[in-house]
Amino acid sequence: MAKKKLNKNWLHDHINDPYVKLAQKEGYRARAAYKLKEIDEDEKLIKPGQVIVDLGCTPGSWAQYTRRKLAGKDGGGVNGTLIGLDMLEMEPIADFHFIQGDFREARVLRQLEVVLQGRKVDLVLSDMAPNLSGIATADAARMEHLIDLAIEFSQLHLKPSGVLLVKCFKDMGFSQIVEKFRTEFKVVVQKKPKASRDKSSEIFLMGRGIKHPMKNAPEEDDSALDI
């Protein structure tokens, strides 16, 4: 009974959420677009001509926002390169290179290299979150693992001055993740956009300027791919 009431309350809040209504009005697939929009406007992340990679891009609201930002006012083709990777399918978005698969696999990384054509990335975005078990220590470990993967991806592909933006949760090993960011990036900023619900422990971490770039991709390892 309690669970049913909780679901009913969530549905009521969701339907009446101003960002949900705005997303429907403006054609975004999810309200998450406004989290990225606010962070972008504060930090001036997205600029014409950039190469941007969106990790875990499905359903595509961040992709929609970046595409609109690089298309300019006339709504024509984008000035830049937009790439998304996800294990789940995603409905196509114009001018957005979608690669379905696990970005830790060599097959997927080879597809990425074809699109990059030797270029380094200006901005890596990650709105990824783990499947939750309800066990705090296990969920914190899963979250930290996803962040580690995003950092490693950035070490391989970011420009020296590039930026990584990731989603975290304050109740999932957050202090360790912040320390990891400070070890790997010259500038680290925490962001809690207005579109992120007050009840949620969700917070975003931005790292600018990679300290320890990797020159060579690691050897393919198909073991332990499940998070």
Q: Mark residue 189 as left, alpha or beta (left: phi above 0; alpha: psi -120 to 50; beta: remaining).
A: beta
Q: Can you tell me the distance from the alpha carbon of 118 to that of 203, in angstroms, rounded to the nearest whole number? A: 33
Query: Is 127 flagged in the annotation as binding?
Result: yes
Please, are residues 51 and 128 in contact by the beta-carbon 8 Å criterion? no
- Which among 180, 220, 166 is positioned nearest to 45, based on CA atoms? 166
Cα-to-chain-centroid distance, residue 24: 21
Cβ pair 35, 204 in contact under 8 A = yes
> Residue 95 corresponds to which tokens in the numbers above?
């001018």
Is 76 annotated to bind ligand?
A: no
Query: Among this protein's residues, is 167 annotated catalytic?
Result: yes
Q: Is 10 annotated as a binding residue?
A: no
Catalytic residue among 167, 191, 192, 194: 167
- H-type alpha helices, 55-211: 61-71, 106-116, 136-157, 174-184
CB 152 within 8 A of CB 114: no
Q: Is 56 annotated as a binding residue?
A: no
Binding-site members for S-adenosyl-L-methionine are 60, 62, 86, 102, 127
Which residues are catalytic, by number?
Answer: 167
